[in-house]
Structure 1
Amino acid sequence: MRRVHSRERSERVAWWTTGPGTGELRAEPLRDPGAGEVLVRTLWTGISRGTETLVLRGEVPASERDRMRAPFQEGAFPFPVKYGYLTVGVVEGGPLDGRTVFSLAPHQSRSVLPADAVTPVPAGVPARRAVLAGAVETAVNVLWDAAPRLGDRVTVVGAGMIGCSIARLAAGIPGVEVELVDVDRAKAPMAAALGAAFASPDDATPDRDIVIEASASPAGLALALRLAATDSDVVVASWFGSRPVPLELGADFHSRRLTLRSSQVGAVASARRERRTMRQRLALALELLADPAFDVLLSGPSPYTALPDVAAALAAGTDTGLCHTIDWSAA
């Protein structure tokens, strides 16, 4: 492994969001790891267009600011805040010396973390792809909540990073037919690469056994209710931030006996909570990332020095990538 001199270790570069769509790279002191801690040199971070875009825009509602805190966040919402939770790096020193690991660290060149806060990346998973571990872990939890059965017809509304991850995992269940619905027809090739059919909202197939809403759009949630078959489940994977979301609970909602339920990654799905820990769920997600099909979800890469431009584009909605990857190798 690359040996690092103590002078190099004495500081790090970190990305701070300081206003809507704006931020800065700051040099910060870096302490030595203590007992039970590891020093991790960052290789890649990923930026989700979902939660992190809300942070970049300053749209985290006051009522959710405590629950929305990332594990190693500094600062406070709305600004200034050092945020992020999709990080892959290499441990320098200690019992995990040289291991590539995933962590929930923010966007910064080095981190000192508790040893139990890093999860080794399996040898068959490239470091850049491993930044998707958070998305795939969410997809695992959503499917534990949705519980598709052999031969089910499953629709995922919203071809974002989470929706695409759910579609890929669901497509791997024998006999399950998956349709990915999105307003952007240009995502049809991506759906095909993930093993799912594609449909626009106007062409989506009705009478589905399970509908999973991952669009973060009120219109997407309304569509999910319309596509669900009688006595079926609609699982809401989106988090809508501070926006009010109207629901169509009149008409035939009751006569079709639909079940509307939430899924949230902050706790293991109730069906597995007594038998799986969050750490085991994350380890499973990393194992599933040996599948190269997930590479279609990655955009960029951009060097860490481009973060001001990347953040501005994400906040403005002009960066359409699902998970923009940031290369920290030169930091």
Structure 2
Amino acid sequence: MAWQYWTEAARRGAWREVPTPHVDPDAAAQLRIRTTASAVSKGTETLVHAGRIPDRVTALMRAPHQIGDFPFPVSYGYLSVGIVDEGPSDWIGRRVFGLLPHHSHHIVTVDDVHEIPDGVDDHRALLAGAVETGINILWQLPPRFSDRLSIIGAGMIGASTALLASRMPLERLEVIDVNPDRRAMLESLGLCALAPEEASVDSDIVIHTSGHAAGLTRGLEITGDDGTLVEASWYGSSSPTVPLGADFHARRLTIIASQVGEVAAGHRARRTRGQRLQAALRALADDRFDALITGTSAWQELPGIIDELASDGQLAADTLCHIIDYPQPG
């Protein structure tokens, strides 16, 4: 038998036992993936878990291989790695990443998955979704030589974006987060991490990923005159207060949105989503990304893990990327 994780109702998830799938012998491009690990994308998946996907964007927020419809029941997720164990002989045994939900097995086409490079293990490869998002954010408004860049929020997306940006010839890169443990982790990776009140106030570009109105407010405060804030947070059905009074108009600030569902406009004519994801997998050759993996659990624990991440408890505060491991043959 095989297993699929479903969100059955608000804050209630469960595994469903299903027949083990097999490839169609007449479909040359089909592969079966035996999952080795998946990861929880804390921001989006906790909104799904709580039933907080607004009706007007349900079509836009569908995961590529989602089963069911929002709000419930729905089988959701988009960070999965595994091994090809059925399909064309030249694919058997390959390690692959796919934008696939939390299932023990998947039937996909060769176009649905990407081979994981040598030197990137299965757990680190699960960060490909976050790194792909970071690449898209940086493509949205590419920092220029000697720019001053601030990133507010050091969750999985913010920290991944910061590690990518650290390779650029910036004059200054600051990562802003309220959590001192998270700041210490970033400092150990060679990044400048500061509390909100310590942030420089003349940034050319501010990237906001915290998902909180307070972070957005601080982001506008530290954006320099004529500067731009890139809003990469998604709030689901919440409506944060955006402080457009005070000096927003006087200092001629700009807010632009970044969302990974489409390649950023500046690159859309020249890059496919597949090429963007391949770039993310190559970027994961950087060993520093291992620090973003903050927990691992067995697959049976996933319903409780997602519910804890949707709360305001310690696990939610400490988690960047939480890995779910699946049983292996033997």
Relative to the length of structure 2, the TM-score reads 0.94
SS at 2:126 equivalent: helix
In 1: Cα distance, 2:212 partner to 2:189 partner: 22
1:26 aligned onto 2:16: yes
Match of 2:139 among 138, 144, 161: 144
Task: Give the equivalent residue in structure 2 for 1:80.
Answer: 73
Alpha-carbon distance change, 190 to 146 in structure 1, aligned in 2, over 3 angstroms: farther
Task: Give the equivalent residue in structure 2 for 1:8.
Answer: none
In 2: Cα distance, 1:196 partner to 1:170 partner: 10
Match of 1:197 among 167, 192, 197: 192
How much has 1:106 moved relative to structure 2?
Answer: 0.6
AA at the equivalent of 1:15 = Y
Contact 1:21–1:314 under 8 Å retained in 2: no
1:122 aligned onto 2:117: yes
Match of 1:37 among 30, 38, 45: 30
In 1: Cα distance, 2:304 partner to 2:237 partner: 25
In 1: Cα distance, 2:70 partner to 2:130 partner: 22
SS at 1:45 equivalent: strand
Number of aligned pairs? Answer: 321
SS at 1:156 equivalent: strand
Contact 2:6–2:13 under 8 Å retained in 1: yes
In 2: Cα distance, 1:146 partner to 1:190 partner: 27
1:46 aligned onto 2:39: yes
How much has 1:30 moved relative to structure 2?
Answer: 3.3
1:55 aligned onto 2:48: yes
Contact 2:149–2:170 under 8 Å retained in 1: no
Task: Give the equivalent residue in structure 2 for 1:16.
Answer: 6
How much has 1:123 moved relative to structure 2?
Answer: 0.8
How much has 1:299 moved relative to structure 2?
Answer: 2.2
Contact 1:40–1:110 under 8 Å retained in 2: yes
How much has 1:330 moved relative to structure 2?
Answer: 4.1
In 2: Cα distance, 1:176 partner to 1:107 partner: 41
1:278-293 to structure 2, matched below 5 A, reads: 278-293=273-288
1:268-279 to structure 2, matched below 5 A, reads: 268-279=263-274
In 2: Cα distance, 1:236 partner to 1:124 partner: 33
1:253 aligned onto 2:248: yes
Q: Per-residue displacement from partner, 1:51-73 (whole Å, max 9, x unpaired)?
A: 01111111111112111111111
Percent identity over the alignment?
44
Match of 1:325 among 317, 323, 326: 323
Structure 1 unmatched ranges of 5 or more: 1-10
1:238 aligned onto 2:233: yes
SS at 1:279 equivalent: helix
AA at the equivalent of 2:175 = L
Alpha-carbon distance change, 283 to 176 in structure 1, aligned in 2, over 3 angstroms: farther
In 1: Cα distance, 2:141 partner to 2:233 partner: 14
Task: Give the equivalent residue in structure 2 for 1:188.
Answer: 183
Pick which of 122-131 and 58-67 moved more. 58-67
Q: Per-residue displacement from partner, 1:88-138 (whole Å, max 9, x unpaired)?
A: 001113231111100011101110012100011111111111011000000
AA at the equivalent of 1:322 = L
Match of 2:106 among 111, 121, 130: 111
Contact 1:167–1:194 under 8 Å retained in 2: no
SS at 1:180 equivalent: strand
Q: Per-residue displacement from partner, 1:213-236 (whole Å, max 9, x unpaired)?
A: 001111111111110001111100
Contact 1:237–1:263 under 8 Å retained in 2: yes
In 2: Cα distance, 1:166 partner to 1:31 partner: 37
Contact 2:76–2:101 under 8 Å retained in 1: yes
How much has 1:250 moved relative to structure 2?
Answer: 2.0
Contact 1:164–1:194 under 8 Å retained in 2: no
SS at 1:141 equivalent: helix
SS at 2:46 equivalent: helix
Supply the RMSD in Å over aligned alpha carbons. 1.4
Task: Give the equivalent residue in structure 1 for 2:307.
Answer: 312
Alpha-carbon distance change, 306 to 198 in structure 1, aligned in 2, over 3 angstroms: same
1:214 aligned onto 2:209: yes
1:70 aligned onto 2:68: no
In 2: Cα distance, 1:129 partner to 1:253 partner: 40
SS at 1:50 equivalent: helix
Contact 2:204–2:228 under 8 Å retained in 1: yes
In 1: Cα distance, 2:207 partner to 2:141 partner: 8
Q: Per-residue displacement from partner, 1:1-51 (whole Å, max 9, x unpaired)?
A: xxxxxxxxxx31111112233211111123322312110000110001110
Moved over 6 A (4+): none
